[in-house]
């Protein structure tokens, strides 16, 4: 018995003298790799093989040595239990270390993914801002200022698809070497406007010839003797609106009507007329007209949805918050936005808007400003002071820190 105890103590000392070995592989992975080795399966990564194989062999040898000692009766029952517990704790430590390393790796990967997502989000937001800026800069200008070049402007008019509204269009003659003359422009209206791209209808002006006197005091409208004016009272009324937009800026007070042999023209429901009076253009509310995905245009509205004309600019501005989608016409001022109007100054109209997330250096705000300027012009204001959010001082080319002059023309089309 003494010899057995001495042999046991000697073996314990030898075991304690063994170097400390840590196997960082999980038990499942260890089993799979041992199984691959037993069955002659080649390990794909030689470097990884040596990384786990040496400590795994030591672990197996250690377990085999304990098994031999158990079978030969070297260990007592309580010693066996203690060594088994110690071995189990060592294996648990190996698994815990593996879990900690795996968790650390997952946290790092998660952080990297989060950082990457944050970078993508920042880039996306920056791209949206740049896209909005580009959209504002590239959006078609719906108004025109003639301060710099003083080019000839010829005002014509078209109709919406339903022939309910006259839409003014300003032809800007960029090739004129002098003041130009309107005869040529007004007698080629159909050649300047593409109905398809603008989403509009043209009045049959190709059957009509306009003739201006040198001083523009007289404007004649000449047609053939067999000329037939389009039928319908609606078209007669819109024709009157179109003539007003076309010739209101000239000194002539009326349009002289004549055929080849008579000094009158039969204008549908208007009957026989020798002179069609040119009426002043005032008290209008401008909205956006866009048929399907065609060009966007400013369209003047003479009446509110109840058929009443606008007596104050407050009424016109309120009307500009409503859509008329059945006619492809849309409001330019957000419907839920509150604003105050100060028309006390005969020259400068002041409008202050409450803060709204829709306002910014974008197309919507730009078009709202353009429509307000044209509306103010129809009420004889020279400039408009528009107050938006405190930090929004520039929209497109409009400087909101100063009163903005009303434009010289609307819906410009450049003639080359």
303 vs 47, higher pLDDT: 303
Share of the chain above pLDDT 90, in %: 56
Of 25 and 160, the one with more pLDDT:
160
Q: What is the mean pLDDT of the chain?
A: 79
Cβ neighbors of 276 (< 8 A, separation 6 or more) are 221, 240, 243, 254, 255, 257, 267, 270
Is residue 133 over pLDDT 70? no
Tell me if 208 sits within 8 A of 167, measured CB to CB: no
Q: Which residue has the higher pLDDT, 49 or 97?
A: 97
pTM equals 0.68
- Give the span between the Cα atoms of 168 and 191, in whole angstroms: 16
Rounded Cα–Cα distance for residues 331 and 197 (Å) = 22
Cα 90 to Cα 30, 32, 61, 83, distances in angstroms = 15, 20, 15, 10
Give the Cα separation of 170 and 245 in Å (integer): 10
Range name among 187-196, 217-226, 285-294, 316-325 with the lowest pLDDT average: 187-196
Longest alpha-carbon distance in the chain: 149
Q: How many other C-beta atoms are found inside a 10 Å radius of the C-beta of residue 284?
A: 20
pLDDT attached to residue 43: 45
The band of 237, judged by pLDDT with boundaries at 50, 70 and 90, is: confident
**Taking residues 46-66, what's their average pLDDT?**
47
* pLDDT per position as a tens digit, 195-213: 999 999 999 999 999 999 9
The two structure tokens encoding residue 401: 């820190």
Q: What pLDDT score does 213 carry?
A: 95
Judging by beta carbons within 10 Å of its beta carbon (0-12, 13-18, 19+), is residue 268 exposed, middle or buried? middle
Q: What integer pLDDT is reported at residue 167 of this predicted model?
A: 98
The answer to whether the CB of 352 falls within 8 A of the CB of 339 is: yes
* Whole-number pLDDT of residue 142: 97
Q: How many helices (H) and strands (E) does the chain have?
A: 10, 20
Spatial distance between the Cα atoms of 314 and 375, rounded to a whole number of angstroms:
10
Q: Which two tokens stand for residue 388?
A: 């938006």
The residue ranges of every structural domain in the chain are: 53-114, 145-277, 285-415
Side by side, the strands of the sheet bearing 166-173 are 153-159, 166-173, 412-415
How many other CB atoms are found less than 10 A from the CB of residue 415? Answer: 17
Neighbours of 281 (CB within 10 A): 17
Q: How many residues does the chain have?
A: 416
Identify the H or E element spanning 412: strand 412-415
Question: What are the residues facing 375 on neighbouring strands?
Answer: none
Backbone φ and ψ for 306, nearest 5 degrees, come out as: -95, 5
Q: What is the DSSP string of 157-188?
A: EEE-TTS--EEEEEEEETT-SSS--HHHHHTT
Ramachandran angles phi, psi of 406, nearest 5°: -70, 150
Give tens-digit pLDDT for 349-403.
999 999 999 999 999 999 999 999 999 999 999 999 999 987 899 999 999 999 9
CA 118 – CA 40 distance, rounded (Å): 48
Residue 180: per-residue pLDDT = 63
Residue 267 is encoded by which pair of tokens? 């204008």
């Amino acid at each position: 018995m003494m010899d057995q105890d001495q042999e046991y103590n000697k073996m314990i000392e030898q075991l304690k003298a063994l170097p400390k070995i840590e196997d960082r592989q999980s038990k499942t992975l260890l089993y799979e790799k041992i199984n691959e080795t037993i069955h002659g399966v080649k390990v794909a990564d030689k470097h990884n093989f040596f990384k786990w194989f040496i400590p795994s062999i030591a672990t197996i040898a250690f377990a085999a040595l304990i098994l031999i000692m158990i079978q030969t009766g070297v260990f007592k029952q309580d010693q066996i239990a203690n060594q088994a517990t110690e071995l189990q704790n060592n294996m648990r430590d190996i698994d815990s270390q593996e879990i900690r390393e795996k968790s650390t790796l997952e946290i790092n990967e998660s952080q990297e993914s989060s950082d990457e997502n944050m970078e993508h989000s920042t880039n996306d937001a920056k791209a949206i801002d740049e896209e909005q800026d580009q959209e504002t800069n590239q959006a078609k200008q719906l108004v025109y200022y003639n301060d710099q070049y003083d080019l000839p402007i010829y005002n014509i008019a078209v109709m919406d698809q339903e022939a309910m509204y006259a839409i003014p269009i300003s032809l800007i003659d960029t090739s004129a070497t002098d003041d130009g003359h309107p005869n040529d422009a007004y007698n080629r209206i159909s050649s300047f406007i593409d109905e398809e791209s603008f989403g509009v209808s043209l009045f049959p002006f190709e059957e009509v010839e306009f003739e201006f006197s040198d001083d523009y005091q007289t404007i004649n409208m000449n047609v053939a003797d067999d000329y037939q004016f389009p039928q319908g009272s609606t078209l007669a009324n819109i024709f009157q609106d179109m003539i007003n937009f076309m010739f209101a800026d000239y000194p002539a007070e009326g349009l002289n009507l004549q055929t080849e042999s008579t000094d009158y023209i039969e204008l549908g429901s208007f009957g026989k007329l020798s002179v069609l009076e040119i009426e002043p253009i005032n008290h209008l509310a401008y909205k956006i007209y866009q048929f399907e995905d065609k060009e966007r245009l400013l369209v003047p509205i003479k009446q509110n949805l109840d058929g009443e004309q606008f007596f104050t600019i407050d009424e016109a501005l309120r009307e500009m918050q409503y859509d008329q989608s059945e006619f492809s016409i849309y409001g330019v001022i957000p419907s839920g936005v509150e604003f105050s109007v100060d028309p006390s100054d005969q020259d400068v109209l002041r409008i202050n808007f409450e803060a709204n997330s829709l306002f910014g250096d974008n197309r919507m705000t730009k078009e709202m400003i353009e429509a307000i300027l044209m509306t103010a012009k129809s009420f004889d204001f020279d400039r408009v002071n528009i107050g938006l959010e405190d930090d929004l001082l520039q929209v497109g080319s409009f400087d909101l820190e100063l009163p903005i002059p009303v434009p010289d023309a609307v819906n410009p089309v450049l003639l080359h």
